Amino acid sequence: MVFEVLTIFPAIIEAYLSESIMRRAVERGALRVDVYNIRDFTTDRHRQVDDYPYGGGAGMVLKPEPVFNAIEHIERDGLERRRVLLTPGGRVFSQSIAEEYARQERRILLIAGRYEGIDERIRTVTDEELSIGDYVLTGGELPALVIIDAVTRLLPGVLGDSRSAEEESFTTGLLDHPHYTRPVEFRGMRVPEVLLGGNHRLIRRWRRREALRRTLRQRPDLLDKADLSEEDQELLEEIKEEEE
Ligand code: 9WO
């Protein structure tokens, strides 16, 4: 997968990608991220990327010209790519969008705005607007990294097989089951007995039950859309009685 990021703060993107799993994904060739500094595509003496808003008011606006120049430069390769603008007004990003991107896209261009807004004409060169949630940030860089991270971990070979994407709770529409590591007792809190024995059928069933319980308690809205088996439905009924 190739991501291209347009930003006035390339170091923010590079810092995250140089660590841990993202770095390994790059080294393994599963991921490439080309970061472009919008300022490099200005043509004026002061390399100005922002300007005053027409109509007045506080704050500055990201200029269209360097952004258009950057996109035209990048697209000289003639390759297909999805052009995505990060904005709170966009379609809300989710695990299913991450899966769709990991499966269907080869190149994604992410445009991260800054200042108090972007010139409206920048929207005309995008295919889609994405939001990572209902809050306002100071720029689109963190949303760009969120999207790169969520998509990259779904690419073949990135996570190894410590845990298949299939097994993962959000894929099945449930929250995760509880996890424990050593010590077996910590400040009076013990690891559930079932996890200490080697009965893997029992462990699987306990984990499923606890994932259902946690989802019912914390995000009951997810249960409506979750893909539940007959056994899940039965477990859920038992849990509901226990929880009363
Ligand atoms: C800001 C804004 C606020 C309310 C309604 C719509 C809005 N659009 C933008 C916007 O596009 N802002 C630009 C990018 C310029 C200012 C900083 N930017 C930004 C993007 N802040 N927060 C985001 C963002 C992007 C994706 N998901 C959540 C927040």
Encode pLDDT of 103-127 as tens digits.
999 999 999 999 999 999 999 999 9
Give 227 Cα–ligand 1 centroid separation in angstroms: 34
In a domain, 160, yes or no: no
Q: Is 20 left (phi over 0), alpha (psi -120 to 50) or beta?
A: left
Query: Residue 64: what pLDDT?
Result: 98
Of ligand 1's listed atoms, the one at least distance from the Cα of 89 is 6
Domain CATH number, residue 196: 1.10.1270.20
SS (H, E, C) 147-166: HHHHHHCCCCCCCCCCCCCC
Count of structural domains, the chain: 2
| 0.75 surpassed by pTM | yes
**230 and 138 within one domain:** no
**137 and 32 within one domain:** yes
Q: 26 lies in which domain range?
A: 2-152
Residues of the chain with pLDDT below 50 are none
Q: Under 8 Å CB-to-CB from 195, ≥6 apart: which residues? A: 180, 203, 206
Query: Residue 169: what pLDDT?
Result: 65
Q: Whose CA is nearest to atom 17 of ligand 1?
A: 139
**171 and 140 within one domain:** no
- Is the CB of residue 118 below 6 angstroms from any atom belonging to ligand 1? yes
**11 and 118 within one domain:** yes
CB 119 within 8 A of CB 62: yes
* Residue finishing a domain among 152, 186, 220: 152
Query: Residue 165: what pLDDT?
Result: 57
Give 8 Cα–ligand 1 centroid separation in angstroms: 15
- Is the CB of residue 132 below 6 angstroms from any atom belonging to ligand 1? yes
Q: Parallel, antiparallel, or unpaired for β 128-131 and 82-92?
A: parallel
Query: Residue 167: what pLDDT?
Result: 61
